[in-house]
Amino acid sequence: MLFCVSQAPDYEPTLPVSEKTNPLTRDIDQASASSIVKMLKACDTQMFQEGAGRTYQRLFSDQVITTMMEVAKRVEVILKDPEDSLIVLSGCGTSGRLAFLLGSGFNKELRKMNQNPIYFYIIAGGDRALFSSQEAPEDDPHLGTLSLKKICEGKKRVLFVGISCGLSAPFVAGQLEFCLQHPDVYTPVLIGFNPAHQARDEHIPGCSFTFCSVVQRMQEFAKSQKAFLINPAVGPEAISGSSRMKGGSATKILLEIVLSAAHAATFSHTPVTYKGILQHMRAYEATVDMTYAQSEGITTLVEAAGQSLRCGRSVCYLGWGSLALLALIDASECHPTFGAAYKDVRGFINGGYRDLNNSEGALTSLGPEFGIAHEDFLHSFLPSLNDQDIVLLIYTHSDDVSEVVKLARRVREKTSNLHAVYHQSDGDPAASLQQEDISKLCLSTLDFTWSSSASGCLLHMWELSTKLVLNAVSTGAHVLKGKIYRNHMIDVQVTNSKLYHRATRLLQKLSGCPEPQCEEVLLKAVYQVEELSMDITSSDITRHTHAARNTTQVVPLALVCLLTGCSLMEAKSHIKRQPIIREAVAVIIDMS
Ligand code: S6P
């Protein structure tokens, strides 16, 4: 993958921060559950590090805070005069899911104040991508533009927020480019976590622009506040390239601060100030600390979830409200990240689609993996549950805790492997008796009690905290299952160009073979052939990534072939004998 790197950073100089390997997690694949949690804590803490050199802006950098203020003021203008205006949040994968979460949350705030909703979300691949992996539409800039045009038809003013953690998604690049061409209506804001010069500079088929060239034009527009870039670095991900983790958390933090500041300025006459933004950021930093203060409890969950996955059973999140949405998001990311089956990690939300308010409505007809309501859990999941499956109850004291007790009892009849993650503010006696009942039914309870006087919206803090816990559970459990090699996702799906290049790079790194050879073997694994035909070699990446949708374990197979020189058939039987990829690869590397 090409990036326009003008200032070489410290290590892995050809890679942007979001794709680098994190030295803190180099040995995560060999770590115990408790060490995994320690490493994740160290990685998440990096988000708030200050003054890490002049090359990269950070969350607390002056320019970041100042731009956040400017964007908040733009939002305020729209909130005060919403006629013919829209605020659109858009992204692919996790970034699109967070666009949905944030848009829904802030629309809910508006409705509470009898205001019309003003936020719209776009996710590449449509609503099915909210709960399942749809990586291919990420590569399509035209689709991005079309979806933006469609929802903004007839609007006179649109604040467009494009989220791409890696400054890399062509879908978002297309939308930003469209905004730049129509500055009379659209003001684009880009959220990402690489310095501008590290934006992806790879040719996008059918387009005259790259993500990098769009960023450069945005920088020009930004001089006259016709575009805004908020792109602090938050350090490399714990699992290389897994932007669902820190990238997702930082997206949530930045946008919540901006939108909350705008809401406060509009509805409670609290002007947007530098100090206010800074204070809010500190509150998120404290939330991360508060969360990891319970590392022992998180470790228990990671250990138990890893145990379930290792014996081929499931991790099941039963959530309430927006915390359940975070659980659904976490579960949906396990397929592209770890090559997991949809049954491995499942999420369920009370009320199902009824409470979600997603634009396409109920998606249940798309297949069993789209059954996301508690009723779906009761019908399709509960009957086959046993002690090897772990069930996590995820809720807050503002939810109907008596419902939690009821569900906990039903689950307890099938499995004792029941755990709870619970948020409350200090001094809330109402829920405490029922909470005791739940705790008695559970093997472990992570009880987060937050000070109600802390700055920032408590629900936002609970959500972030829940996201960190669930990211730790699903990542840690897959690490323990052997789905990570060093700190790379080795069983990554190769279903878009970013993932294709990442896979080729990983093969080069692990096998030491030259790039053309790695790509050749990768293609053999994608097309499941021992020899590549002319038809295949003359095709472009779009076709390769399309073909990869129908195959599994592409990268592990290619790696075994490269390391041993064996055929694809032989590699398959090797992996069949040793399905734990970490161990399969380790054995082969030892042999070679
Ligand atoms: C990453 C996740 C992906 C990304 C998506 C968008 O952990 O599985 O689905 O969210 O590729 O990436 P980006 O860099 O445009 O936000």
- Residue nearest (by alpha carbon) to ligand 1 atom 15: 164
**CA count, 13 A, side-chain hemisphere, 534:** 0
Residue type, 448: F
pLDDT above 50: residue 8: no
pLDDT value for 431: 57
Answer yes or no: is the C-beta of 248 below 6 A from any ligand 1 atom: no
How far is the centre of ligand 1, averaged over its atoms, from the C-alpha of 20 (Å)?
A: 15
Angstrom distance (rounded) from CA 100 to CA 119: 9
**Which atom of ligand 1 is closest in space to residue 133's alpha carbon?**
9
Answer yes or no: is the C-beta of 94 below 6 A from any ligand 1 atom: yes
What are 352-397's pLDDT values in tens digits?
999 898 999 999 999 999 999 999 999 999 999 999 999 999 999 9
Answer yes or no: is the C-beta of 168 below 6 A from any ligand 1 atom: yes
Q: Candidates 94, 122, 483: which one to mutate for ligand 1, based on the most atoms within 8 Å of Cβ? A: 94
Answer yes or no: is the C-beta of 166 below 6 A from any ligand 1 atom: yes
What are 132-150's pLDDT values in tens digits?
988 889 999 999 999 999 9
**Which atom of ligand 1 is closest in space to residue 242's alpha carbon?**
7
Q: 362, 352 in Cβ contact below 8 A?
A: yes
Determine the average pLDDT of the residues in 232-239: 97
Topology of domain 82-242, per CATH? Answer: Rossmann fold (3.40.50)
Q: Do domains 82-242 and 490-591 have the same CATH topology?
A: no
How far is the centre of ligand 1, averaged over its atoms, from the C-alpha of 94 (Å)?
A: 5
**CA count, 13 A, side-chain hemisphere, 207:** 25
pLDDT band at 430 (very low <50, low <70, confident <90, very high): low
Query: The CATH number of 294-477 is which of 3.40.50.12620, 1.10.4160.10, 1.20.1580.10, 3.30.230.70?
Result: 3.40.50.12620
Determine the average pLDDT of the residues in 425-429: 73
**Which atom of ligand 1 is closest in space to residue 93's alpha carbon?**
9
The domain locations on the chain are 82-242, 294-477, 490-591
**Which atom of ligand 1 is closest in space to residue 247's alpha carbon?**
16
Angstrom distance (rounded) from CA 552 to CA 575: 12
Q: Candidates 97, 133, 165: which one to mutate for ligand 1, based on the most atoms within 8 Å of Cβ? A: 165
Answer yes or no: is the C-beta of 475 below 6 A from any ligand 1 atom: no
Model-level pTM greater than 0.90? Answer: yes
Instruction: Provide the CATH number for the domain formed by 490-591 in this structure.
Output: 1.10.8.1080
Q: What are phi and psi of 457, to 5 degrees?
A: -70, 125
Give me 504's structure tokens: 């080729």
Answer yes or no: is the C-beta of 487 below 6 A from any ligand 1 atom: no
